[in-house]
Structure 1
Amino acid sequence: MKLPSSSATNLNKKDMRHMITMNDFTRKEMDDMLELMSLLKEARRDNAVPHLFKNKSVAMIFEAGSTRTRVSFETAATLLDGHALFLSPRDIHLGGKESIDDTARVLSRMCDIIMARTNDGDTTEALTKMSTVPVINGLDCVYHPTQMLADIFTMMEHMPEGKELSDLTVAFMGDATDVCRSLLLTCTKYGMNFKQIGPKKYQMQEKWLKVADKNCAETGATYEITDDVSKVSECDVIYGDSFYWTTQLEEKEERLAAFMPDYVITKALMENAAPGAILMHCLPANDKEEVTREALEGTNSVALDQAENRLTAQMAILVYFTHKFNNSPSEETLAHHKNKIDGFLNNL
C-alpha cells in the first residue's frame, strides 16, 4: 500500500522562498520580518510565545561550528513548540557518501525547513535547487542573512531619538568579511549610509560594490570604502568583527599587523564617533584584537542585545517561511485518525 508523501513535500513551490541573502527581499518584506520579530519578542517577554511551529521540524546542517546560530535556532523551535535537529558532518553524509541533492530531497521529505551553515555558497545553492522546503542560509562565507535581520532590529531598538533607519550611518571596522558584505548590501537596501573602514588590501571587492550601486540608485543610500579612521566621527553605529577566521590562520600575523592598532574599536574610538553612537559586534569577539574589553563592556555597547536578537530573528524566520504552508487538522480529522489507530492497537 503506497500512500502520498507527508505534508512537508507538498508545498506549493511557486510560493516558497529561500533565505540566502537579505538582498533578495524587498523593503516591504524585510519590514514584515522585523515587525514579526517585534511581536514575537513581546510575546517572549510575557512568556506567551504562540505555538506557530507546532509539530514542525527544522533540520540544522552545520559544516562549521557555531554558538549563537545553533542555540538561537534550537531555542526558537522549542519556544514555538517545534523541534530542531542538529546535523554535523559526523552525523550525515553531505557531499560525501551522499550527494547534496539527495540530502536535500531526503530532508525535505522529513522536515519542514532546512537551515544550513556551510563552508561555501555552492553548497547552499545546491541545497536550494533540490529542496522542496525553505532553505535558510545560516552563513556560507558569502552571506549571513540571519545575522543581518538581528542587526537591523538591534539598530531600530537603539536608534538615536528622532532618527529613522535611513538616517543612520554604519561603520564596519575591518576586513571585507561575509558579515561586512552582507551589511553593505542590507544597509544600502534600507537607504542607510555605510562605510567600511580598513586597510586598502582588505577593502570590499568591486563586484559587491556594483550590487550596492544598484541598491543606492533605488533607495538613495550611500557607501564609502576608506582607510581613514577619523571617518567614525560621522557614524552612528560602529561594527566590529574578527580580523581573521579559522581558514586564514596562516595569514593571522600579517592581518593583525595590518589592522592593529589603528582599526581596533577602543573606548577612545567610540568617543570620537557621532554623539550617541552604539557599538555592535556579531561575536565571538577576540579581546584586545578587533575590540577591547573596555569598549565591548562599555555603556555604548549593544553587542549582547544584538546576540539575544538572534533568537528573536530565528523565531521570526521559522514562522515567516512556513506559516503559509500550515495545514492544521480539524477536530473531526484528529478524532477520526485517533479512533482508527486506537481501534487497531486495542486489537493487538
Structure 2
Amino acid sequence: MNHFYGKSFLQESKFSATELNYLIDFAIHLKALKQKHLPHHYLEGKNIALLFEKSSTRTRSAFTVAAVDLGAHPEFLGKADIQLGSKESVADTAKILGSMFDGIEFRGFKQANVEALAKYSGVPVWNGLTDKWHPTQMIADFMTLKEHFGKLKGLTLAYVGDGRNNVANSLLVTGAILGVNVQIGAPADLQPAKDVIALAQQAAQQSGAQLLITTNPQAAVTSADAIYTDVWVSMGEKVDYHQRIDALLPYQINQQLLAATGKEGTVVLHCLPAFHNLQTSVGKQFMADYELSALEITDEVFQSSRSLVFQEGANRMPAIKAIMAATLGNLFIPDALFK
C-alpha cells in the first residue's frame, strides 16, 4: 500500500498532521541515505516535467537532483517553452504533458494553474511555488526545525515582514496543522488574508497551536524558538519600494529583535534569496536612497551561529525528494499509520 500514491501536493491544508510529519521524517531518512551513499531509486524509469513560469535557483536545483537521485529523468520547461493560458489552455497542456510524463512540477503565479494541471493531467503534480502557497518549502522548513530541536509540536515560530505572501501563508497554516505556535508580525495591510487565517484557525483548534497576528514586531517574536523572514517585495510584485521599506524596517531581523525573543537558543530561518548585504545589484537598488547595508535581515544575524538558512536551503532537496517518492514511487506505506 502507498497512502500517498497518485496524489498531488498543491497546498498544505489538504494534508493532515500525520501526513505532513510522515513526509518530514521521510525527508530526514532520504537525506541520511544520500549521506551514506545508499541508492534509493524509487522512481526508476519515470519522467518528470519541471514547469517554470518563475525563475528559480533552489527549487529547480532541488527537483532536478532529487529526480536524478530517485532514478527519474527530469525535463526542464521554462517560461519560453510553455504557453499556459496564453497560446494554449492549461487543461490542454496538462492533458498532453500527462500523456508523456509521470509527474509534473509547477512553479508559477496562479494557484488555479497548478490545480488545473493536477485536475487534467492524470498524474501527480507538485507545487514548486505559486503566489498563494509554497508547500515544498514547508517540508524543508519544518524538517530543519525538527533536525535542530528534535521535535515540532509545542515549538513557537515567529514570522516578521511581509505577512501576506506565499511563505507567510504556508507557515501559518502548516504550523497550525503541526501544533507549532505561529506568531506573525506585519503591518496591518501586509497581514494574511482572511481565508488563510480561517484555515489556520480551523487547524489550530485540532492541534492546540496558538496563533498570533500583530503589528508589533517585539510582541511577534516573544518566546520564539525560531524567527523567519522573507524578502520584502515578492517576485513580479509591483509596489512602491520606498513605501514598502519604510513600512517593514521595524520588522528587520537584527540583534535587537533577536534579543526580544527572551531566549538564548532562538534560531533564524529565511527561504532565500536574502538581502543581507550589498553584494547584489537588486539589493543595492532597493537600498540606494537609505543608509542601509541590509533589508529584511542583517548580515550579522544571517552569518551567525543562530542562522540555519543554509541547512534549510539544502533541505529543499531531500524534502522534495520525499514528496515525489511518496506520491509517485511504488512504496509500501501501511495505511494504519494514517488512521
Task: Indicate the TM-score class for this superposition, using the shorter chain for normalisation.
Answer: 0.7 to 0.9
Match in the other structure for 1:281: 270
User: Would the aligned equivalents of 1:62 and 1:116 in 2 still touch at CA under 8 Å?
Assistant: yes
Match of 2:301 among 286, 295, 304: 295
Residue in 2 that maps onto 1:114: 104
Q: Deviations over 1:126-163 (max 9, x none)?
A: 1121011001011111010000000110010111xxx7
Match for residue 259 of structure 1 among 248, 252, 255:
248
What residue number does 1:202 align with? 190
Tell me the CA shift for residue 164 of structure 1: 3.4
Question: How much is the aligned-residue C-alpha RMSD, in angstroms?
Answer: 1.8
1:223-234 alignment to 2 at 5 Å? 223-231=211-219, 232-234=221-223
Number of aligned residue pairs: 310
Structure 2: tracts of 5 or more residues without a match: 277-293, 333-339
Secondary structure of 2:211 counterpart: strand
Q: Which amino acid aligns with 2:42?
A: L
Offset, 1:89:
1.9
Shift of 1:110: 1.1
Partner AA of 1:170 in structure 2: L
Q: What does residue 137 of structure 1 align with?
A: 127
- CA gap of 1:275–1:167, structure 2 versus 1, over 3 A, is farther
- Residue 80 of structure 2 aligns with an amino acid whose one-letter code is R
Given that 2:99 and 2:121 are in contact with CA atoms closer than 8 Å, whether structure 1 keeps it comes out as: no
State the TM-score, normalized to the length of structure 2.
0.88
> Percent identity among equivalent residues?
33
User: Can you list the C-alpha shifts for 1:229-268, whole angstroms capped at 9, x where unaligned?
Assistant: 22223111100101112333432211101011x1101123
How far the C-alpha of 1:15 sits from its partner, in A, is: 5.7
Verify the 8 A CA contact 1:40 1:49 in the aligned structure 2: no
2:136 corresponds to: 146
**Residue 246 of structure 1: aligned partner:** 235
Matches of 1:171 and 1:186 in 2, distance apart?
13
Which residue does the alignment assign to 1:31?
Answer: 21
SS in 2 for 1:279: strand
Q: Residue 168 of structure 1 corresponds to which residue in structure 2?
A: 155
Larger-Rg structure: 1
Structure 1's unaligned 5+ residue stretches are 1-11, 327-348
Q: Match of 2:159, SS?
A: strand
2: CA distance between counterparts of 1:276 and 1:165?
15
The separation in 2 between residues aligned to 1:32 and 1:310, in whole angstroms, is 16
Please state whether the residue corresponding to 2:222 is helix, strand or coil.
helix
Counterpart residue identity of residue 14, structure 2: D
